[in-house]
Copies of this chain bind each other. A is one copy, B any other.
Amino acid sequence: MNRDPADRASPLVTDYYAFTMLITYLETGRTGTAVFEFFVRPPLPASRRFFVAAGLGEAVDDLLALETRGDERAWLAGEGLLASKPVRDYIEELRFTGDIDAVPEGTVVFPDEPLLRVRAPLPLAQLVEARLINSLHYPTLIASKAARMVLAARAGTTLVDFGLRRAPGTEAGLMLARASYIAGFDGTATVPAGRRYGIPLYGTMAHSFVLAYPNEEEAFLAYARTHREDVTLLIDTYEERDAAHTVGRLYARLAHEGIPLQAVRLDSGDLAARARDVRTILDAHGAKSVRIFASGGIDEHTIADHVRRKAPIDGYGIGTLLANSSDVPYLNCAYKLVAYDNQPRRKFSTGKTTRPGAKQVFRTHDARGRMKEDVIGLEGEDIPGEPLLVPVVRRGERLTPEEPLEHIRERVRTGLAALPDELREIDDTPSPRPYPVRTSRGLAALTDSLTPPSPSAPRVVPP
């Protein structure tokens, strides 16, 4: 069966130049071992004080599933990309046979730190460039944004991803649900994410639901009586205080029928002020156990504002501003060659120089368990601290199975708790005391030792 062109198990999921370079590599014998590293370029965006690494589990699964199918080879041949036998054979036998070391998902990380390292024959390591950046970029972007929302919310607040509709594609909707869940969200509205990842699903009703009944009372009763155990009522289709009175009145009546109303949802206006009004009305009706859920334009600043104002809001549905990481819509990340054939490599492009050699990040904590300093050094360099990159794949085989999401969630929880206080602030300004990320002497010396090869052409113009 033909495979969907967007299926990440297809090696075609890459940039065209990966194939044109592959041809030259194979035809000129450049098949030695290459080391590439994925990292985010500095500086931290003004409104981020750290990132949360995410996407690794699925990125590795997809790499290890790589193989070309017959229809794909036929297509590549039709494009003229399989003209030579070495290339045909290579593509036919293509598997991911390399090594991967990476920072575990859910780790708090910083710019310049390598988050993933591939050691593989050059044509292979190059072929997977675009897919690896793609697999790691959006999840890391989203987990980093979602972690700020988790930090902003009071403990016990329910945070739910409502982002599918405004996410950039369905696949992004699933990546979003997964990344926000590992960052500490409680669940998602995205049904296929519930199915694929086992993330708890949340959902209530739309305004259209209320509009399809003659009035709110009929809509609310219809919903409550057909769901019974899990009833959240949307109360701002018309006037939310009227609706709160309706809910308050129905509360006892439905309790009598054995139906415990669980929550109401507000989706518009000044959510904190409205929540307070609604709380007062519900409490006066004796519906103190009914929780208040808010949605509509929520981000970490909305949540922090509600916390400051002591708004009686028990949970949030968060969509657009998370799904598009609207204040920082992308990370300046890259996947760069750092060594070829055991020789460190370095590019010198203006503003985009790289640092050579396979690297490691060494993290130290203080006596209370708070993060103290990271040092970026060379792999194998003798530096105190916990090495962040760990072996994940050797010769195309996973060393350990993919981590359960609950483990990754726990790592985020621990990591956020270990952040220095000023890094936990969600102000949209750089930290007054940015987290120290130093360069080791070994890495600095290696970097300085590399200079561009002397130009092969004299800088003169022929007569």
Which residues of A does B touch, CB under 8 Å? 4-8, 10, 12-21, 23-25, 27-28, 30, 34, 36, 75, 79, 122, 126, 129-131, 133-134, 137-138, 141, 162, 164-175, 189-196, 201-218, 222-223, 226-227, 230, 236-239, 241-243, 245-246, 248-250, 267-269, 281, 284-285, 296, 320, 323-326, 329-333, 335-337, 340, 345-352, 452-462
Contact = CB atoms under 8 A, between A and B. Distances in A.
A168 B249 CA distance: 46
Sorted from nearest, which 5 A-B pairs have the closest CB atoms? A16-B203, A217-B456, A17-B203, A208-B337, A5-B192
Contacts of A166: 133-134, 137, 330-331, 333
Given A17-B204, A208-B336, A215-B453, 14 more contacts: A17-B205, A18-B191, A24-B227, A28-B222, A130-B164, A141-B168, A168-B169, A208-B345, A210-B347, A216-B456, A236-B349, A268-B352, A325-B329, A329-B329
Contacts of A243: 455
A330 B337 contact: no
15 contacts: A10-B192, A24-B227, A28-B226, A30-B213, A133-B166, A137-B165, A141-B168, A167-B168, A168-B168, A212-B337, A216-B456, A238-B453, A249-B457, A268-B349, A285-B461
A25 B211 CA distance: 12
B324 A13 contact: no
A246 B203 contact: no
A81 B207 CA distance: 21
Contacts of A201: 16, 79
Contacts of A242: 455, 457, 459
Nearest to A30: B212
- Most B CB within 10 A of own CB, among A15, A226, A237: A15
A6 B171 contact: yes
Most buried by B among A6, A122, A168, A213: A168
B455 A17 contact: no
Nearest to A10: B192
A202 B15 CA distance: 9
B165 A130 contact: yes
B173 A461 contact: no
Given A281-B461, A461-B284, A214 B453 contact: yes
Nearest to A451: B238
Nearest to A201: B16
A174 B10 CA distance: 14
A130 B164 CA distance: 7
A239 B348 contact: yes
A463 B171 CA distance: 52
A390 B11 CA distance: 39
Contacts of A210: 347
A20 B453 contact: no
Contacts of A13: 170, 173, 191-192
A21 B206 contact: yes
Contacts of A172: 138, 168-169, 171-172
A418 to B, nearest CB: 29
A7 B191 CA distance: 12
A348 to B, nearest CB: 5
B202 A16 contact: yes
Contact of A21 (B7, B36, B205): B205
A302 to B, nearest CB: 14
B350 A126 contact: no
Given A237-B349, A349-B267, A209 B329 contact: no
A326 B330 contact: yes
A157 to B, nearest CB: 19
Contacts of A340: 211-212
A460 B25 CA distance: 79
A393 to B, nearest CB: 20
